[in-house]
Structure 1
Protein backbone atom coordinates (compact mmCIF):
# COMPACT_ATOMS: atom_id res chain seq x y z
CA UNK A 1 0.00 0.00 0.00
CA UNK A 2 1.08 3.50 -0.68
CA UNK A 3 1.50 6.10 2.09
CA UNK A 4 -1.65 8.01 1.10
CA UNK A 5 -3.82 4.87 1.14
CA UNK A 6 -2.25 3.80 4.42
CA UNK A 7 -3.06 7.20 5.96
CA UNK A 8 -6.64 6.98 4.61
CA UNK A 9 -7.12 3.54 6.18
CA UNK A 10 -5.80 4.80 9.53
CA UNK A 11 -8.33 7.65 9.37
CA UNK A 12 -11.18 5.21 8.55
CA UNK A 13 -10.13 2.93 11.43
CA UNK A 14 -10.80 5.64 14.04
CA UNK A 15 -14.00 4.89 15.92
CA UNK A 16 -15.57 8.31 15.85
CA UNK A 17 -19.17 8.55 17.14
CA UNK A 18 -20.68 10.00 13.93
CA UNK A 19 -19.23 7.26 11.69
CA UNK A 20 -21.49 4.50 10.46
CA UNK A 21 -18.72 2.07 9.44
CA UNK A 22 -15.23 1.42 10.79
CA UNK A 23 -12.23 -0.18 9.13
CA UNK A 24 -10.99 -3.12 11.18
CA UNK A 25 -8.10 -4.33 9.06
CA UNK A 26 -6.91 -5.80 5.80
CA UNK A 27 -5.40 -9.05 4.66
CA UNK A 28 -2.33 -9.72 2.53
CA UNK A 29 -4.46 -9.93 -0.62
CA UNK A 30 -5.71 -6.36 -0.28
CA UNK A 31 -9.22 -7.15 1.00
CA UNK A 32 -10.51 -4.77 3.69
CA UNK A 33 -12.73 -5.78 6.59
CA UNK A 34 -15.31 -3.44 8.07
CA UNK A 35 -17.75 -3.21 10.97
CA UNK A 36 -20.94 -1.17 11.04
CA UNK A 37 -23.92 -0.84 13.36
CA UNK A 38 -26.84 -3.09 12.62
CA UNK A 39 -30.06 -1.17 11.96
CA UNK A 40 -32.27 -3.89 13.44
CA UNK A 41 -30.18 -4.62 16.52
CA UNK A 42 -28.21 -1.55 17.53
CA UNK A 43 -26.23 -3.51 20.14
CA UNK A 44 -24.63 -5.70 17.51
CA UNK A 45 -21.96 -4.77 15.00
CA UNK A 46 -22.17 -6.30 11.52
CA UNK A 47 -18.97 -7.48 9.81
CA UNK A 48 -18.28 -7.44 6.08
CA UNK A 49 -15.41 -7.74 3.62
CA UNK A 50 -14.80 -5.32 0.75
CA UNK A 51 -12.72 -6.62 -2.12
CA UNK A 52 -10.91 -4.87 -4.93
CA UNK A 53 -13.39 -3.81 -7.60
CA UNK A 54 -11.16 -5.20 -10.34
CA UNK A 55 -11.13 -8.68 -8.78
CA UNK A 56 -13.72 -11.13 -10.04
CA UNK A 57 -15.94 -12.58 -7.29
CA UNK A 58 -14.79 -16.13 -8.09
CA UNK A 59 -11.17 -15.13 -7.46
CA UNK A 60 -11.77 -13.64 -3.98
CA UNK A 61 -10.18 -15.71 -1.24
CA UNK A 62 -10.65 -14.96 2.44
CA UNK A 63 -8.14 -16.52 4.83
CA UNK A 64 -9.41 -18.78 7.61
CA UNK A 65 -8.48 -16.26 10.32
CA UNK A 66 -10.52 -13.49 8.69
CA UNK A 67 -13.34 -15.90 7.98
CA UNK A 68 -13.45 -16.75 11.69
CA UNK A 69 -13.61 -13.07 12.52
CA UNK A 70 -16.42 -12.50 9.99
CA UNK A 71 -18.46 -15.34 11.54
CA UNK A 72 -17.92 -14.11 15.13
CA UNK A 73 -15.84 -17.17 16.02
CA UNK A 74 -12.96 -15.00 17.12
CA UNK A 75 -13.38 -11.69 18.87
CA UNK A 76 -10.28 -9.83 17.68
CA UNK A 77 -9.17 -9.57 14.04
CA UNK A 78 -5.93 -11.28 13.00
CA UNK A 79 -2.77 -9.22 12.79
CA UNK A 80 -0.50 -8.95 9.76
CA UNK A 81 2.21 -10.94 11.60
CA UNK A 82 -0.26 -13.74 12.30
CA UNK A 83 -1.23 -13.84 8.62
CA UNK A 84 2.42 -13.99 7.53
CA UNK A 85 3.11 -16.83 9.99
CA UNK A 86 0.14 -18.71 8.51
CA UNK A 87 1.62 -18.39 5.01
CA UNK A 88 4.95 -19.77 6.29
CA UNK A 89 3.08 -22.65 7.97
CA UNK A 90 1.24 -23.47 4.74
CA UNK A 91 4.51 -23.53 2.79
CA UNK A 92 6.05 -25.88 5.38
CA UNK A 93 3.05 -28.22 5.20
CA UNK A 94 3.26 -28.32 1.39
CA UNK A 95 6.97 -29.14 1.60
CA UNK A 96 6.38 -31.93 4.16
CA UNK A 97 3.54 -33.33 2.03
CA UNK A 98 5.82 -33.39 -1.00
CA UNK A 99 8.48 -35.29 0.98
CA UNK A 100 5.87 -37.77 2.21
CA UNK A 101 4.63 -38.32 -1.36
CA UNK A 102 8.19 -38.97 -2.53
CA UNK A 103 8.77 -41.49 0.30
CA UNK A 104 5.47 -43.20 -0.54
CA UNK A 105 6.31 -43.39 -4.25
CA UNK A 106 9.75 -44.90 -3.55
CA UNK A 107 8.30 -47.91 -1.69
CA UNK A 108 7.14 -50.93 -3.73
CA UNK A 109 3.40 -51.25 -4.10
CA UNK A 110 1.28 -54.37 -3.95
CA UNK A 111 -0.45 -53.13 -7.10
CA UNK A 112 2.75 -53.25 -9.13
CA UNK A 113 3.50 -56.25 -11.32
CA UNK A 114 5.69 -58.79 -9.47
CA UNK A 115 9.29 -59.17 -10.63
CA UNK A 116 9.34 -63.00 -10.55
CA UNK A 117 7.52 -65.19 -13.05
CA UNK A 118 4.66 -66.94 -11.31
CA UNK A 119 2.42 -69.58 -12.85
CA UNK A 120 -0.76 -68.19 -14.29
CA UNK A 121 -4.16 -69.08 -12.88
CA UNK A 122 -5.89 -72.24 -14.05
CA UNK A 123 -8.49 -71.20 -16.59
CA UNK A 124 -9.70 -74.56 -17.87
CA UNK A 125 -11.69 -77.06 -15.80
CA UNK A 126 -9.85 -79.98 -17.40
CA UNK A 127 -6.55 -78.63 -16.19
CA UNK A 128 -4.65 -81.01 -13.93
CA UNK A 129 -4.38 -78.33 -11.27
CA UNK A 130 -8.15 -78.08 -10.96
CA UNK A 131 -8.95 -81.83 -11.06
CA UNK A 132 -5.98 -83.86 -9.83
CA UNK A 133 -6.15 -87.62 -10.51
CA UNK A 134 -7.58 -89.60 -7.59
CA UNK A 135 -5.10 -91.86 -5.90
CA UNK A 136 -6.41 -94.61 -3.61
CA UNK A 137 -5.43 -94.20 0.00
CA UNK A 138 -3.54 -97.11 1.49
CA UNK A 139 -5.63 -99.18 3.91
CA UNK A 140 -3.54 -99.69 7.02
CA UNK A 141 -6.05 -102.09 8.68
CA UNK A 142 -5.34 -104.96 6.30
CA UNK A 143 -1.80 -104.80 4.95
CA UNK A 144 -1.97 -108.23 3.24
CA UNK A 145 -5.04 -107.47 1.08
CA UNK A 146 -4.28 -106.90 -2.58
CA UNK A 147 -5.37 -103.88 -4.65
CA UNK A 148 -7.97 -105.92 -6.55
CA UNK A 149 -9.74 -106.92 -3.32
CA UNK A 150 -9.67 -103.28 -2.14
CA UNK A 151 -11.25 -102.02 -5.35
CA UNK A 152 -14.04 -104.66 -5.03
CA UNK A 153 -14.79 -103.45 -1.49
CA UNK A 154 -14.90 -99.85 -2.68
CA UNK A 155 -17.26 -100.77 -5.53
CA UNK A 156 -19.57 -102.58 -3.11
CA UNK A 157 -19.62 -99.57 -0.80
CA UNK A 158 -20.35 -97.23 -3.74
CA UNK A 159 -23.52 -99.20 -4.57
CA UNK A 160 -24.96 -98.55 -1.13
CA UNK A 161 -26.86 -95.29 -0.66
CA UNK A 162 -24.96 -93.08 1.71
CA UNK A 163 -26.92 -91.64 4.58
CA UNK A 164 -27.33 -87.89 4.84
CA UNK A 165 -25.60 -86.84 8.09
CA UNK A 166 -27.86 -83.78 8.39
CA UNK A 167 -31.15 -85.67 8.05
CA UNK A 168 -31.56 -86.05 11.82
CA UNK A 169 -30.71 -82.40 12.47
CA UNK A 170 -33.35 -81.14 10.05
CA UNK A 171 -36.13 -82.81 11.93
CA UNK A 172 -38.19 -83.54 8.81
CA UNK A 173 -40.14 -80.29 8.80
CA UNK A 174 -42.52 -79.90 5.83
CA UNK A 175 -40.77 -76.74 4.67
CA UNK A 176 -37.43 -78.49 4.26
CA UNK A 177 -38.15 -79.91 0.82
CA UNK A 178 -40.61 -77.28 -0.40
CA UNK A 179 -39.86 -75.68 -3.76
CA UNK A 180 -41.95 -72.96 -5.43
CA UNK A 181 -43.97 -73.92 -8.49
CA UNK A 182 -42.94 -72.49 -11.82
CA UNK A 183 -44.96 -69.55 -13.04
CA UNK A 184 -47.18 -70.04 -16.06
CA UNK A 185 -48.87 -66.96 -17.50
CA UNK A 186 -52.60 -67.07 -18.15
CA UNK A 187 -54.37 -65.40 -21.02
CA UNK A 188 -55.97 -62.09 -20.07
CA UNK A 189 -59.59 -61.39 -20.91
CA UNK A 190 -60.39 -58.38 -23.04
Structure 2
Protein backbone atom coordinates (compact mmCIF):
# COMPACT_ATOMS: atom_id res chain seq x y z
CA UNK A 1 0.00 0.00 0.00
CA UNK A 2 1.33 3.40 -0.91
CA UNK A 3 0.65 6.65 0.89
CA UNK A 4 -1.32 7.92 -2.10
CA UNK A 5 -0.60 10.08 -5.12
CA UNK A 6 1.23 13.41 -4.81
CA UNK A 7 -0.46 16.80 -5.17
CA UNK A 8 0.50 17.23 -8.85
CA UNK A 9 -0.77 13.75 -9.65
CA UNK A 10 -4.02 14.46 -7.78
CA UNK A 11 -4.58 17.55 -9.96
CA UNK A 12 -3.99 15.46 -13.05
CA UNK A 13 -6.46 12.84 -11.71
CA UNK A 14 -9.12 15.52 -11.15
CA UNK A 15 -8.63 16.81 -14.70
CA UNK A 16 -8.91 13.30 -16.18
CA UNK A 17 -11.97 12.52 -14.02
CA UNK A 18 -14.02 15.27 -15.71
CA UNK A 19 -16.54 13.70 -18.08
CA UNK A 20 -16.06 16.12 -20.97
CA UNK A 21 -17.84 15.38 -24.29
CA UNK A 22 -14.67 15.32 -26.42
CA UNK A 23 -12.81 12.98 -24.08
CA UNK A 24 -12.66 9.33 -25.12
CA UNK A 25 -11.95 7.91 -21.68
CA UNK A 26 -12.12 9.37 -18.22
CA UNK A 27 -10.79 8.42 -14.81
CA UNK A 28 -13.21 6.90 -12.30
CA UNK A 29 -10.89 6.37 -9.34
CA UNK A 30 -7.84 4.64 -7.92
CA UNK A 31 -7.15 2.07 -5.27
CA UNK A 32 -4.76 2.04 -2.34
CA UNK A 33 -2.03 0.30 -4.38
CA UNK A 34 -1.91 3.08 -6.98
CA UNK A 35 -3.86 1.33 -9.77
CA UNK A 36 -6.17 3.64 -11.75
CA UNK A 37 -9.58 2.65 -13.09
CA UNK A 38 -10.93 4.11 -16.31
CA UNK A 39 -14.21 4.09 -18.21
CA UNK A 40 -14.92 4.73 -21.91
CA UNK A 41 -17.66 4.15 -24.48
CA UNK A 42 -17.62 0.78 -26.18
CA UNK A 43 -17.08 0.98 -29.95
CA UNK A 44 -19.44 -1.92 -30.65
CA UNK A 45 -22.18 -1.24 -28.08
CA UNK A 46 -22.53 2.51 -27.50
CA UNK A 47 -25.07 1.99 -24.71
CA UNK A 48 -22.53 0.33 -22.45
CA UNK A 49 -19.37 1.80 -21.00
CA UNK A 50 -16.22 -0.32 -20.90
CA UNK A 51 -14.17 -0.41 -17.72
CA UNK A 52 -10.44 -1.05 -17.49
CA UNK A 53 -7.63 -0.86 -14.96
CA UNK A 54 -4.17 0.61 -15.54
CA UNK A 55 -1.66 -0.84 -13.14
CA UNK A 56 0.85 1.16 -11.17
CA UNK A 57 4.30 1.30 -12.77
CA UNK A 58 5.92 0.58 -9.40
CA UNK A 59 4.27 -2.82 -9.10
CA UNK A 60 5.39 -5.90 -11.03
CA UNK A 61 2.57 -7.46 -13.07
CA UNK A 62 2.79 -10.71 -11.09
CA UNK A 63 2.22 -8.81 -7.82
CA UNK A 64 -0.87 -6.87 -8.93
CA UNK A 65 -3.89 -7.46 -6.71
CA UNK A 66 -7.27 -5.86 -7.26
CA UNK A 67 -9.65 -5.50 -4.34
CA UNK A 68 -13.04 -7.24 -4.51
CA UNK A 69 -14.88 -3.91 -4.66
CA UNK A 70 -12.96 -2.78 -7.77
CA UNK A 71 -13.28 -6.23 -9.29
CA UNK A 72 -17.07 -5.98 -8.94
CA UNK A 73 -17.01 -2.54 -10.52
CA UNK A 74 -14.89 -3.77 -13.45
CA UNK A 75 -17.37 -6.56 -14.19
CA UNK A 76 -20.45 -4.31 -13.94
CA UNK A 77 -21.67 -6.10 -10.80
CA UNK A 78 -21.37 -2.88 -8.87
CA UNK A 79 -22.62 0.38 -10.36
CA UNK A 80 -20.76 2.95 -8.25
CA UNK A 81 -17.00 2.91 -7.84
CA UNK A 82 -15.72 2.26 -4.28
CA UNK A 83 -14.47 5.20 -2.25
CA UNK A 84 -11.09 5.47 -0.54
CA UNK A 85 -12.78 5.23 2.90
CA UNK A 86 -14.52 2.03 1.85
CA UNK A 87 -11.22 0.54 0.67
CA UNK A 88 -9.44 1.53 3.91
CA UNK A 89 -12.23 -0.02 5.97
CA UNK A 90 -11.89 -3.26 3.99
CA UNK A 91 -8.13 -3.40 4.69
CA UNK A 92 -8.69 -2.85 8.43
CA UNK A 93 -11.47 -5.48 8.44
CA UNK A 94 -9.17 -8.04 6.80
CA UNK A 95 -6.43 -7.28 9.33
CA UNK A 96 -8.90 -7.76 12.20
CA UNK A 97 -10.13 -11.06 10.71
CA UNK A 98 -6.54 -12.35 10.50
CA UNK A 99 -6.02 -11.55 14.18
CA UNK A 100 -9.25 -13.31 15.17
CA UNK A 101 -8.32 -16.34 13.06
CA UNK A 102 -4.89 -16.53 14.72
CA UNK A 103 -6.53 -16.40 18.17
CA UNK A 104 -8.97 -19.15 17.17
CA UNK A 105 -6.09 -21.28 15.89
CA UNK A 106 -4.28 -20.88 19.21
CA UNK A 107 -7.41 -21.95 21.11
CA UNK A 108 -7.76 -25.06 18.93
CA UNK A 109 -4.08 -25.92 19.34
CA UNK A 110 -4.42 -25.82 23.13
CA UNK A 111 -7.15 -28.50 23.09
CA UNK A 112 -6.05 -32.15 22.87
CA UNK A 113 -6.75 -34.03 19.66
CA UNK A 114 -6.86 -37.64 18.49
CA UNK A 115 -4.05 -36.76 16.09
CA UNK A 116 -1.72 -35.90 18.97
CA UNK A 117 0.76 -38.44 20.37
CA UNK A 118 -0.72 -40.77 23.05
CA UNK A 119 0.67 -38.67 25.88
CA UNK A 120 -1.56 -35.71 24.86
CA UNK A 121 -4.60 -37.53 23.43
CA UNK A 122 -8.16 -36.80 24.39
CA UNK A 123 -9.93 -38.81 27.08
CA UNK A 124 -12.19 -41.76 26.23
CA UNK A 125 -15.26 -40.60 24.27
CA UNK A 126 -18.56 -40.36 26.12
CA UNK A 127 -20.31 -42.81 23.75
CA UNK A 128 -18.43 -45.83 25.16
CA UNK A 129 -20.20 -48.03 27.67
CA UNK A 130 -19.29 -47.65 31.35
CA UNK A 131 -18.08 -51.30 31.50
CA UNK A 132 -15.54 -50.75 28.72
CA UNK A 133 -14.21 -47.51 30.23
CA UNK A 134 -13.70 -48.76 33.81
CA UNK A 135 -10.62 -50.90 34.52
CA UNK A 136 -11.32 -54.49 35.70
CA UNK A 137 -11.22 -55.11 39.43
CA UNK A 138 -8.44 -57.40 40.72
CA UNK A 139 -11.03 -59.77 42.24
CA UNK A 140 -12.73 -60.24 38.87
CA UNK A 141 -9.41 -61.01 37.19
CA UNK A 142 -8.52 -63.64 39.83
CA UNK A 143 -11.97 -65.26 39.61
CA UNK A 144 -11.82 -65.37 35.83
CA UNK A 145 -8.30 -66.84 35.86
CA UNK A 146 -9.03 -69.53 38.49
CA UNK A 147 -12.42 -70.41 37.00
CA UNK A 148 -14.47 -69.71 40.11
CA UNK A 149 -17.96 -68.35 39.94
CA UNK A 150 -18.76 -69.97 36.60
CA UNK A 151 -22.47 -69.76 37.31
CA UNK A 152 -22.32 -66.11 38.29
CA UNK A 153 -22.15 -63.28 35.80
CA UNK A 154 -19.33 -60.77 36.09
CA UNK A 155 -20.08 -57.62 38.09
CA UNK A 156 -22.23 -55.12 36.27
CA UNK A 157 -23.82 -57.73 33.93
CA UNK A 158 -27.07 -59.63 34.60
CA UNK A 159 -26.89 -63.45 34.70
CA UNK A 160 -28.12 -65.37 31.64
CA UNK A 161 -28.00 -62.42 29.26
CA UNK A 162 -26.40 -62.57 25.83
CA UNK A 163 -23.20 -60.54 25.42
CA UNK A 164 -23.83 -57.15 23.83
CA UNK A 165 -21.95 -55.50 20.97
CA UNK A 166 -19.58 -53.76 23.39
CA UNK A 167 -18.60 -57.10 24.93
CA UNK A 168 -17.83 -58.58 21.52
CA UNK A 169 -15.77 -55.53 20.60
CA UNK A 170 -13.59 -55.98 23.69
CA UNK A 171 -12.64 -59.54 22.78
CA UNK A 172 -11.40 -58.46 19.37
CA UNK A 173 -12.26 -59.51 15.88
CA UNK A 174 -11.60 -63.06 14.63
CA UNK A 175 -9.04 -61.73 12.19
CA UNK A 176 -6.83 -60.50 15.04
CA UNK A 177 -6.07 -64.09 16.10
CA UNK A 178 -5.54 -65.41 12.57
CA UNK A 179 -2.05 -66.56 11.64
CA UNK A 180 -1.02 -67.61 8.14
CA UNK A 181 -0.27 -71.29 7.61
CA UNK A 182 3.05 -72.29 6.15
CA UNK A 183 3.03 -73.12 2.47
CA UNK A 184 4.77 -76.12 0.98
CA UNK A 185 4.81 -76.42 -2.76
CA UNK A 186 3.40 -79.57 -4.24
CA UNK A 187 4.51 -81.39 -7.32
CA UNK A 188 3.05 -79.92 -10.48
CA UNK A 189 1.05 -82.37 -12.58
CA UNK A 190 1.59 -82.62 -16.28
CA UNK A 191 -1.34 -82.47 -18.61
Q: Of residues 44, 49, 54 in structure 2, which corresponds to 1:45?
A: 49
Residue 115 of structure 1, CA deviation: 3.0
Q: Does 1:33 align with 2:37?
A: yes
Q: Of residues 115, 119, 136 in structure 2, which corresponds to 1:115?
A: 119
Any gaps of 5 or more consecutive residues in structure 1? 117-132, 140-190
The one-character-per-residue Cα deviations of 1:80-138 (angstroms, maximum 9, x if unpaired) are 0000000110011000000001001111111222239xxxxxxxxxxxxxxxx9x8xx7
Structure-to-structure mapping, 1:1-190, within 5 angstroms? 1-115=5-119
| CA distance, structure 2, for counterparts of residue 113 and residue 54 of structure 1 | 49
| CA distance, structure 1, for counterparts of residue 18 and residue 79 of structure 2 | 18
| CA distance, structure 2, for counterparts of residue 80 and residue 53 of structure 1 | 20
Any gaps of 5 or more consecutive residues in structure 2? 121-144, 152-191
Residue 21 of structure 1, CA deviation: 0.1
Matching residue of 2:182: none
Larger Rg: 1
2:18 and 2:26 in contact (8 A); partners too: yes
Residue 55 of structure 1, CA deviation: 2.3
After TM superposition, which residue ranges in structure 1, 4 or more long, deviate above 6 angstroms? none
Give RMSD over aligned pairs: 2.6
Residue 5 of structure 1, CA deviation: 0.6
Equivalent residues, number: 126
DSSP 3-state at the match of 2:119: coil
Structure number with greater CO (CA < 8 Å, separation at least 6) is 2
Residue 51 of structure 1, CA deviation: 0.7
Matching residue of 1:125: none
Higher helix fraction (1 or 2): 2
The one-character-per-residue Cα deviations of 1:133-159 (angstroms, maximum 9, x if unpaired) are 9x8xx79xxxxxxxxxxxxxxxxxxxx
